[in-house]
Each structure stands twice: as structure tokens, then as C-alpha cells.
Amino acid sequence: MNEISRRKMLVAGGTLGALCLASPANARSLWTWSPSGSLAGSGTGTDPNWVWDDEADQLLASVIDRGDVPRVNQALRTWTRNDQPLPDSLPADVRDFMQRARQLPAWADQRKLDAAAQFNRTKGIYVGVLYGLGSGLMSTAIPKEARAVYYSQGGADMKDRVAKTAKLGYDVGDLDAYQPQGSMIVTAVKTRMVHAAVRHLLPKSPGWSGTNGGQKIPISLADMMVTWHSLPTFVMRKMLEWGVRVNSTDSAAYLHVWQVTAHMLGVRDEYIPATWAAANAQSKQLLDPALGPTREGVALANDLLDIVAEVDGGLTRPMIAGFSRYTVGDQIGNWIGLSREPFWETLVRTAWPKLVAFREHLMPLPLIPDAAWALEEVIRRFVLLFFSEGRRISIEIPDSNRPS
Ligand code: HEM
């Protein structure tokens, strides 16, 4: 570990020590969110902390135990378009499952999905930077997710891992996402299978078992919705906070594309919020208490920022750290060990709202300070990198954990 990352660990370790006892991460709140606020409109009300994805989980456990992962991965590499028939070389049980899993829900509305794609395009810079630096970094402050990612096979190669996460952001925002020629159905079904594999593998990881706070099987549907809220719920909240103009059609469409995505990832409709109001209420109950500091989260956040900094040899890293802190806030920033960058933090705080106002046609050009354009340039480059990394990735089912 180099000097800087060791120092960051120590700084964040101090925060960690101070917060460990009070950390809300291990607290289990009672599940009171009513299924009447869900897409299903009704349901059993069962606490999703105790619900996983039975059908996929049983199938992937069997695929792993009988040594079929390489064969399935080889076949899956050739399946890339939503409208493509499933490869013949897949084992019959995997094929049957995928045939069902690839069907869009009856409530999917193509018009809304198209509107969401347009929205992602017109607001691409905000959505891109918020996925990458907002949701991406926030995920490292979700202890259960940070530990699952750290101790799983993908945790050993963060560059690959970040690129794969970018793929979902890219695919979900793509103009063709859920069109026949798009690839979001493919990405979602493969990811659902990856999560099912992780549920079978991680309980055998000594690193994960020693830090999981008593959870026996990872990635419950409550965990899924925690992460879901760190994506669309957080992104929409930040865009509104920043003063980005979002009309009601766009807002409904953006929610819809993520509702469909949750369903395709195996979340039951009774846990998927039907409205933004229901989403915000569920996020308060699920995401807020799930955030906290961990050693693994600090390491992952550090890796993530290293990858971003690679593009220009680290020159813009302080600016990216300043922007990230502005986006996720001081508390999360401290938890994940973001460096303090007083100069850049001040610049971002003053320049970014002006850039947004200019882009949203609420402020004329002469009022934008020159320094703001340097920030704009870095963010634009980051968004480009984020989405291009996502373009050429194939999601693979793991058959082992991170080597310890
Ligand atoms: C894998 C997205 C929730 C842990 C993946 C992948 C994607 C993804 C695209 C495949 C890329 C890869 O292999 O790295 C999502 C989305 C979620 C979600 C959109 C919710 C809306 C979660 C949660 C956890 C989690 C809640 C843990 C608590 C993992 C792990 C992997 C993975 C451990 C596999 C890494 C490996 O290859 O070993 N996820 N995820 N994910 N996800 Fe998620």
C-alpha cells in the first residue's frame, strides 16, 4: 500500500473508531413500509431483510456445485442483445430460467421507457456524474455492499469491477435500453444470476463471514433496495437539489425505467415503490440507516478514485475528491476516507451551482467564473470515461470468492 492510501486508511480509521459503537449499520429497523405504496399495491408485508431470490438462488447454487459456471459463462458471452434467442449451449435448467427472467413485466410501459432514454440523454452529464461519483462512492459507504463486493471474486480487481458497474449505468441510460436491439434485459438477467451466485459463494468466505454482522446470506431484497435507492432516488434528489429542471413526464419516466430494472433484477413488485413519494419514504427507512464506515469501504473508495485519476496521472484527483465530497456530503466523505481539499471544495461549491444554472438556461454566460470551466471539463471527461468503460464489458458469473 502506498503512503497516501495508508494515510487515508488511518484518517478514516479514526473516524471508524469513533463511529463504530454508534454505527447505524448494524441496527435493524423494523420493517413498516407498506406494500400499498408498491407497484403491486398489496403484498404480505414480509420484511425483505429475510427475502432473497429463491428461484435464481437455487439454480445458481446447482450450477456452481456441479461445475457448470465456465460452460454457462462461455455461452453467456454470446448473448448480448435483448431480442437474441438464448444460446443453445446453455444447460436446459439455466435456459428455462432465463427464458422466464427475460420477460418484461406486464406493467412495463414502452412510452415511458423511451421518455426515460431521452431524459438520460438530455441530462446525461448530471446522471453520469451522479452514478459514478455519487452512487458509486456511496455504495462504498453501505457496509453490507462494501463487504460483499470486497470479499467476492470481483473485489480483487477493482478496475474490472468499476467498469462492470459502469456498464449498468450505461445500459440503463442507453436510448435502446429496453428496445429489442438494446441490452438492458441482458445486463439485468446476467446481474440477477451473478447476485444469486454470490449468495451461494460468500457464506464460504472467511473474510465475509467474520464481518457480516450476523447476516447468513448476502444480498437480501432489502439490501437490493438499499442499493437501488443509492441510484435513482439519490440521483433524482440531487438533481432537484442542484436546480436541474425535471418536468413531471421525465420524472415519472426516470422512475419507471428503474422500477422495470428492479423487477428484472429479481426484486418482488411488492417492494418496488410506485411513486417518488413512496420511494423517498422507503429510502429513509432503508438507505439512511444502512450507511456507515468500514475498512473495506475505505479501500474500495480509494481504488475507485485511483481509477478515475489514472486518466490524467492523478492531476485531477483533488478536484474529483472535492466534487465527490460536495455530492455525497461530509459525513459519507469522512466515512470513506475522501481527502480534504479546501481549495477545490470551495471552488466546486461556488462554481457548480452556476454551471448548472447556465446549463438550465437560468444564468447568462458572463456570470460564470473562468475557473468553473476547468471543473466542467473534468466532469465531462469523467462522464465520458464512465460511459465508455461500460460499453465493452461482459458480465460473468463468479465461481469463487476473493482469494484470501
Ligand atoms: C455484481 C449491479 C445490488 C453485491 C453486480 C453486477 C452489477 C451489479 C451490474 C455485475 C458486475 C460485476 O460482476 O461486478 C447491482 C445493482 C444493484 C445491486 C443495480 C441494486 C439495484 C447489490 C447489493 C449487493 C451487491 C445490494 C451486496 C449487498 C454484488 C457483488 C457482485 C455484484 C458481490 C459480484 C462481484 C463479483 O464478480 O464477484 N451488481 N447490484 N449488489 N453485486 Fe450488485
Give the 3-state secondary structure of residue 280: helix
Q: Return the residue matching grid coordinates 435456459.
A: 95
Q: Is 147 in the pocket of ligand 1 (CB under 6 A)?
A: no
Q: Identify whether the C-beta of residue 238 lies closer than 8 Å to the C-beta of residue 131.
A: no
CA of 164 to the centre of ligand 1 (A): 9
Backbone φ and ψ for 397, nearest 5 degrees, come out as -80, 130
Q: Identify whether the C-beta of residue 129 lies closer than 8 Å to the C-beta of residue 382.
A: yes
Cell of 299: 479501500
* Class of residue 195 by CB neighbours under 10 A (exposed 0-12, middle 13-18, buried 19+): buried
Residue 211 CB neighbour total at 10 angstroms: 18
Q: Is 145 in the pocket of ligand 1 (CB under 6 A)?
A: yes
- Write the ipTM: 0.98
Cα–Cα distances (Å) from 220 to 333, 374, 398, in that order, read 26, 42, 18
**What is the spatial distance between Cα 194 and Cα 199, in angstroms, rounded to a whole number?**
9
Q: Taking the chain, what is the end-to-end CA distance rounded to the nearest angstrom?
A: 17
CA of 138 to the centre of ligand 1 (A): 14
Q: Is 164 in the pocket of ligand 1 (CB under 6 A)?
A: yes
CA of 191 to the centre of ligand 1 (A): 7
Determine the pLDDT at residue 388. Answer: 67
Q: Identify whether the C-beta of residue 202 lies closer than 8 Å to the C-beta of residue 152.
A: yes
* Class of residue 371 by CB neighbours under 10 A (exposed 0-12, middle 13-18, buried 19+): exposed
Determine the pLDDT at residue 16. Answer: 36
Look up residue 79 and give its amino acid: W
CA of 220 to the centre of ligand 1 (A): 12
Q: Is 345 in the pocket of ligand 1 (CB under 6 A)?
A: no
**What is the spatial distance between Cα 356 and Cα 246, in angstroms, rounded to a whole number?**
13
Q: Is 387 in the pocket of ligand 1 (CB under 6 A)?
A: no
Backbone φ and ψ for 38, nearest 5 degrees, come out as -95, 170
Residue 40 CB neighbour total at 10 angstroms: 14
Beta bridge partners of 401: 152
What residue owns the CA closest to ligand 1's atom 22? 224
What residue owns the CA closest to ligand 1's atom 21? 228
Closest atom of ligand 1 to 144 CA is 28
Test site for ligand 1: of 140, 227, 231, 391, most ligand atoms within 8 A of the Cβ: 227
What residue owns the CA closest to ligand 1's atom 37? 154
Closest atom of ligand 1 to 160 CA is 14
Per-residue pLDDT of the chain (404 residues; tens, 9 = 90+): 343 343 343 333 333 333 322 333 444 557 888 899 999 999 988 999 999 999 999 999 999 999 999 999 999 999 999 999 999 999 999 999 999 999 999 999 999 999 999 998 889 889 988 988 899 899 999 999 999 999 998 877 776 776 666 677 778 878 788 999 999 999 999 999 999 999 999 999 999 988 888 899 999 999 999 999 999 999 999 999 999 999 999 999 999 999 999 999 999 999 999 999 999 999 999 999 999 999 999 988 988 888 777 766 677 888 889 999 999 999 999 999 999 999 999 999 999 999 999 888 877 777 777 778 878 887 887 777 766 665 667 889 999 999 86
What residue owns the CA closest to ligand 1's atom 11? 164
What residue owns the CA closest to ligand 1's atom 13? 395
Closest atom of ligand 1 to 226 CA is 26
List the domain boundaries for the chain.
1-22+45-398
- The helix-helix angle for 69-77 and 54-65 (nearest 10°) equals 110
